[in-house]
Structure 1
């Protein structure tokens, strides 16, 4: 009696099916770290002064690998943890944050079969019709929501300028004196198409702009700051963080005044870093954003596709 052997093509077919299944599965969300790990990171940054921007309370750093860019802000904010938690654990509140960024032209929170989603339109630093923006669909997930720890992740499979695996992650824990400790991470992956798109941007609209990290010193003793793609990442990371900070600082105002206050606060905060972040005058920024806010309230987002 002969034992039947499994044909090689059957085994190969099984491996192919397994591979296709893995490719079809959604990417894993961020693992939930310990709140103490975040506190230890902030203490280390404060001790070394690495990336310090404001009086031992805001630190910015960035990393670049072969296929991924990441910026990270660690900061202490003068807002109680419970208030921050109530605001950031809600998807609709995040559109009030994202729309403050000068490049975000639209944001609407929606609910799908897969969960909550933020539909965001990203464009240029001036008034633009929605037909010209790049649509980013962020999945919204609250990975940790406890009395001592909040972790929220926004993740999209693709982003502007041919980027992929686009993420904004915010972690918050209580700090001393009724304050909160915040870490915001902004990152994306990229390939050949994204490299070429970014190269074109840096040769035109992004020419002459720098980030914040000091990478050297000029002959006259002036600091030389990082430029290129890392400079872009650092500028956008800080813009998103300042949007978060400005929105949280405006929570006590009546709902109708919150966004107005947030706009004013965001512009004032970015002007502290005018060398890197200034793009337009205050009146022009506010007028543009008020128009965009009205448009997003009256215009439905495009269907997935």
Structure 2
């Protein structure tokens, strides 16, 4: 081999190794980024827990919980932070499991008054929840709105998890639905949760919400208090933020009721979930009371039966 040929060969080998190293770097980067992001999110959530112990311990909810919400011209977002008396492994295993998680989330969501049906399935390798939204009374599925959520356990570790439910579109030009749950273990074999419920809306959604809030929803309020400019006294917020806060709380109480029933024998879990959810909502009658107990239990038992039989 001539010196020129040998030099060319060495150059090609070096280039090949460089390309291989770049390829390996590109392959590894997503995993490293995901790990780093998960670590950062866990640290951020733990810092949030440590900085808000006063709000968790002293609030209007009579439980370790506090709420935040925000409104823009096209988006609504509600946040609930809470400490629950269940081990982190129990919470993660129930709601963050790639196999059982979607069906478990259906058992959570159906507790909400406006969720009339939920079915978990896999489509092209993606776990999906088909959720029908409707009125707070019994109705045919043909009268409800279908929303397709993608289910994704985004981050899972021994000290943190985040699971995401996302839907691109919803009824009446609503869009970008997000239900996100993240959690860390805390002292006392408990878990600190952060629930996000958010969605966007267009013109039709804005008109529908204004119509609702000017008619049957005009006297409904949320949980955040603001000073009334005319009296200077604190009052609960109304409007779309009040609507958002009520639903965010309903979803949180559904998660809590589902977790509480896990200690009950399987055959009694549905009734325990329904009773726990209803009783929890009745602790906040100004915001959440809609139907009486018997009507709720009958409606939800019927809807759950339909959920198990209708595909």
TM-score, normalised relative to structure 2 = 0.83
CA contact (8 A) 1:79 1:180 kept: yes
- Distance change in 2, residues 1:268/1:56 (3 Å): closer
Please name the residue that 2:88 is paired with.
81
- 2:205, 2:57 → 1: CA distance? 29
CA contact (8 A) 1:213 1:226 kept: yes
- 1:220, 1:49 → 2: CA distance? 29
- 1:76, 1:130 → 2: CA distance? 36
- Residue 166 of structure 1 is aligned with which of 177, 180, 183? 177
- Residue 186 of structure 2 is aligned with which of 175, 178, 181? 175
- CA shift for structure 1 position 76: 0.1
Please name the residue that 2:137 is paired with.
126
CA contact (8 A) 2:222 2:246 kept: yes
Equivalenced residue count is: 271
Tell me if 1:63 matches 2:70: yes
CA contact (8 A) 1:52 1:60 kept: no
From the two aligned structures, give the one with the greater helix fraction: 2
SS in 2 for 1:287: helix
Please name the residue that 2:17 is paired with.
none
CA RMSD, 1 decimal: 2.0
Q: List per-residue Cα deviations over 1:94-120 (Å, max 9, x = no partner).
A: 001000001000001011005000111
- Distance change in 2, residues 1:190/1:282 (3 Å): same
Tell me if 1:42 matches 2:49: yes
SS in 1 for 2:182: strand
- 2:57, 2:90 → 1: CA distance? 29
Tell me if 1:253 matches 2:264: yes
- 2:55, 2:180 → 1: CA distance? 24
CA contact (8 A) 1:162 1:197 kept: no
- Residue 59 of structure 2 is aligned with which of 52, 56, 59? 52
- CA shift for structure 1 position 66: 2.3
Q: List per-residue Cα deviations over 1:79-98 (Å, max 9, x = no partner).
A: 00001111002111100100
Gap regions ≥5 residues in structure 1: 1-28, 301-305
- 1:191, 1:241 → 2: CA distance? 26
- CA shift for structure 1 position 203: 1.4
- CA shift for structure 1 position 217: 4.6
CA contact (8 A) 1:72 1:185 kept: yes
SS in 2 for 1:75: strand
TM-score, normalised relative to structure 1 = 0.84
Please name the residue that 1:6 is paired with.
none
